Structure 1
Amino acid sequence: MRRKIFALIAGVALVGFFSGKVSAATHVVQQGDSLWSISQNYGTSVNQLKAINNLNGDLIYPNQQLHISAEEKTESQDQLYKVAEGDSLWKIGNKYGVSVADLKAWNNLSSDIIHPGQSLAVSKGAAPAPEQKQATNSQAVQQNKPAPKAPAAKPAPAPVQKEAQPATTGSEASGKEMTVTATAYTAYCNGCSGVTATGIDLRSNPGMKVIAVDPSVIPLGSKVYVEGYGTAIAGDTGGAIKGNKIDIFMPDKNAATQFGRKTVKIKLLH
């Protein structure tokens, strides 16, 4: 009898231990995940996940880290991220579940330009690394320092180094209006999985407004107003979607077929 009681107590303690581990977990979003499926796995709700991770909608991305509990989120409030080669604010934002606008505000950035080795705050409570601020102050002093005078000659003007400008970013494209050729598609076409390039499960979320875009023209993750369709998320790509073309998601196959090909005006919101 004593052995049975001891085994029962040990089992309860073990279950409590693993339950605690689950409640304080950070979930890395996988292809095909949705907030609903994640909430079911961890015994929480979609609204709680959205509140803890400051999500305005149901859109999540593969490799994005989601906090499952408020306690776990508090433990990583002052986290800093070191920029790696090939990183962008959009990629870093997806990884930590924050927006590009928040990253820029938390790090006092006036543009989307970042550099390898740079430390970025990825939570509201964190602060940029001291060396980042010192480098900025040093550059300001150097720009204000007059050039040395050459003997019997006029002072040479200080050289101005122009920083290389990257391709148009989501921030720079915000507010841009353009005319595009639009077609329509559904989540049940031949060979379709129903999951977009950014991990949106259209079959589980038929009410979402999503468009497929050329990322070199319209950044993935942008919100875009489409004439006659409404505000949509640029959440998918396609082999035939190049240049000023978009493909509009419609849950009904007949409606998509009847849409055909149209010329519409769009506006990038952010």
Structure 2
Amino acid sequence: MKKVFTALLAGVFIISTAAITVSAEEYEIQKGDNLWDIAEDNQTSVDALMEINDLKSTVVHPKQIILLNEQYIVEQADTLEGIAEKYSVTVDEIKRWNNLTSDIIVIGQVLEIKSVSDEQVSDSIGKTNSTASKVDTETEEVTSKESREGKTIEVAATAYTASCEGCSGITYTGLDLNKNPNAKVIAVDPNVIPMGSEVYVEGYGYATAADIGSAIKGNKIDVFVPTLSEAEKWGTRSLEVTILE
């Protein structure tokens, strides 16, 4: 994808990891709607919609708000297998619901999770709150180099964004950055940092190597940021990247 590079110098800052979150996608019932058509349009089932919304019958009314599915925000060390197990679905289903062409997912990526029950959602939120507390208490620990085990290399880092004229916003691995502006992605030379690797980037945080660039050769990386102004502010930095084990 097209990149935006800058040559401005800027200070290094640390971005801490965010807690895992789940949120629901809503739909307002229109005149003539029924659960069967809504389920088909959203690749789910009537039973799932009834379970998610605690409906006692299939009757719905105009302007009624129902939940279609769940959205899961990918966190550090998540895998499709782990997320699928948490929601009692399959990896293939998650890939189909999200138009994924590979098993690579990135921190901050939003995944649609369909056909989940209230019990599963409640259990997931409970785990989310527990994980959030754990992340908060461990923030200081993960800031030490000793807690980030892996190979550390020094690189020249620039920044790019999807919100610019002529930018497609689609990474080499197929992730739409316009739909995932909070994704933590870096473009790499796969010969130096293997595609799909989880990394810790000094001044950027935990991220996934999920993109490439024509100018990214050798010990160079390009970090994704949501806006052009952030890319310009980033400039060019010499910093360390740890390829996590």
TM-score normalised to the size of structure 2?
0.45
Larger Rg: 1
Q: Indicate the structure whose relative CO is greater, using CA pairs within 8 Å and at least 6 residues apart.
A: 2
Give the number of the structure whose residues are more often helix, by fraction: 1
TM-score (norm 1): 0.41
